Amino acid sequence: MKLGLKKIAFLFLLIVSSNGYGKENVENFFEIDMEAPLPSYEELYEKYSPPPVYDKKYEFTWNIGTIFDKEFYNTIQAYGSSDKRLKKENEDVLFTLITTAPKEIYPYIGPYLHTVPNISPKILNLPGIKETKGKFPTRIAPQMKDIPNLEFLSPHMYFLLMPEIWPENLRMMEGSFTPIKNPKTVYRPEFYKRIHELVPVKQFYPNNQEKKKISKSDLRTVSPNKDSALTTADIQAFVRTIKGVNDFVAQPGMKLRLFSAGQLLDAYENDIKGYSGINALKDIVHPCQRFVQKVRILGEETNLELIVGKEAFNLNEWAYTCDKTIKAYRKSQMSSSVAASVIKAKNGEYEKIITQLDSFNAEKLQAVKSLEVMYHAPINDVLEAIKNRKLLKEEFSKAHYEIGGHPIALH
């Protein structure tokens, strides 16, 4: 679904509030410093969460009365004094395992079973298990024989005394030799020479080209930053991380934690930079950089690095590559009405209208300016996105046009 000019303008004007800030802040509002240290979630929560308000709403009392209740007294007195043993979970399975096990292992497990509290008497009275109570095994592996004070070994370690538990004590039976039915084919150079004559090697090259030229677009960018050019290899590497990142966000409770971290991050930026009301626009303009910031606040950056690191990204490199890819894709998909809106925003036409309103505040101007920033992408990045537009559309569609819980494209 493509959004027209009126719908986009209406969407952004709806999400702004009436609290204004200086016009000088409009230009740098969307700048994100990925190197800046951020407080932890606990620090932000302690600072910005409202104090808990306790409202009892009602008084509770328990009147036990003054009349002696003999039936209640007898129940309390008998509670916990019963000798009846409760059957443990998997008790029958354990009984079956022991009865079907070789009798040779009984001296090594029996003494331990007699030390387990509340174990079934049916197990302890099994022939071969009953006789092992308090007894030390007599058949000991050679590897354990020379250890001093071995008789003081804890019963639950007796299994180490069984000779068969040590691989070097086992004797492997020699198997019979099975002759090869299909002997190895003798290598004949003239045979392969004839094959190459019939099917030339160049036919195995992509697009039947004898030599594939490798361009800069086929190579990954070394240490990408917010200003580096995007390549096809960068885009494809980013695409391979989308599923892992969204699986990370789909963990139980993670979306709620990220939302809470975003609210605290907004409050923190309002304090240090004086912005108010529309910090959520950054989630649309720079979805991946904001996502990484929230992950860092939660202290989950190591888990996210393990995902994007499979494609040789660190968190900042992944965020820059992700945002550049998304902006380039947006620009390559622009309708004519959206393009006209972006051009008007760049030319300052909306600014002239907004500044003349009686209800002017810079937040309305910033909301409109976000149109320009959302679709800002160098021509090189756009061309690379066009090359991979089919791949991007398929992967974005699988991800429901979200990454890290942030919208990544208008569709």
The pair of structure tokens assigned to 199 is: 């099917």
Look at residue 359 in the predicted model and tell me its pLDDT.
Answer: 57
d(CA 129, CA 131) in angstroms, rounded, equals 6
Write the DSSP symbol of residue 403. Answer: E
> H/E/C letters for each residue in 358-371?
CCCCHHHHHHHHHH
d(CA 305, CA 328) in angstroms, rounded, equals 24
The domain limits of the chain are 5-45+220-407, 91-169
Q: How many CB atoms lie within 10 A of CB 389?
A: 15
Look at residue 204 in the predicted model and tell me its pLDDT.
Answer: 67
Residue 407's beta-bridge partner residues?
A: 402
d(CA 104, CA 100) in angstroms, rounded, equals 12
Look at residue 178 in the predicted model and tell me its pLDDT.
Answer: 65
9-18, 23-32, 72-81, 173-182: the lowest-pLDDT one: 9-18
* Contact in structure between 319 and 291 (CB atoms under 8 Å): yes
Percent of the chain residues topping a pLDDT of 90: 21
Q: Where are the beta strands (DSSP E) in 114-234?
A: none
Alpha carbon separation from 177 to 180, 192, 408 (Å, rounded): 9, 33, 63
Closest CA to 385 of 281, 245, 246, 239: 239
d(CA 186, CA 196) in angstroms, rounded, equals 18
Write the DSSP symbol of residue 406. Answer: E
261 vs 205: which has the higher pLDDT = 261
* Contact in structure between 326 and 409 (CB atoms under 8 Å): yes
The pair of structure tokens assigned to 399 is: 């991800």
How does pLDDT run across 172-207, given as a tens digit for each residue?
Answer: 555 555 666 665 667 778 888 878 877 777 766 666
The pair of structure tokens assigned to 210 is: 């004898």
Crossing angle (nearest 10°) for helices 242-249 and 389-398: 20
Alpha carbon separation from 148 to 144, 145, 161, 191, 303 (Å, rounded): 9, 8, 14, 70, 47
Question: Could you tell me the pTM of the whole model?
Answer: 0.56
Q: What is the DSSP string of 249-308?
A: HTSTTHHHHHHHHHHHHHHHHHHHH---S-TTHHHHHSHHHHHHHHHHHHT-HHHHHHHH
* Contact in structure between 389 and 336 (CB atoms under 8 Å): no
165 vs 296: which has the higher pLDDT = 296
How does pLDDT run across 20-34, given as a tens digit for each residue?
Answer: 333 444 446 677 888
* Contact in structure between 402 and 408 (CB atoms under 8 Å): yes
* Residues in Cβ contact with 285 at an 8 Å cutoff, skipping those fewer than 6 apart: 30, 370, 373, 374
Measure CA of the first residue to CA of the last residue in the chain; give whole Å: 5
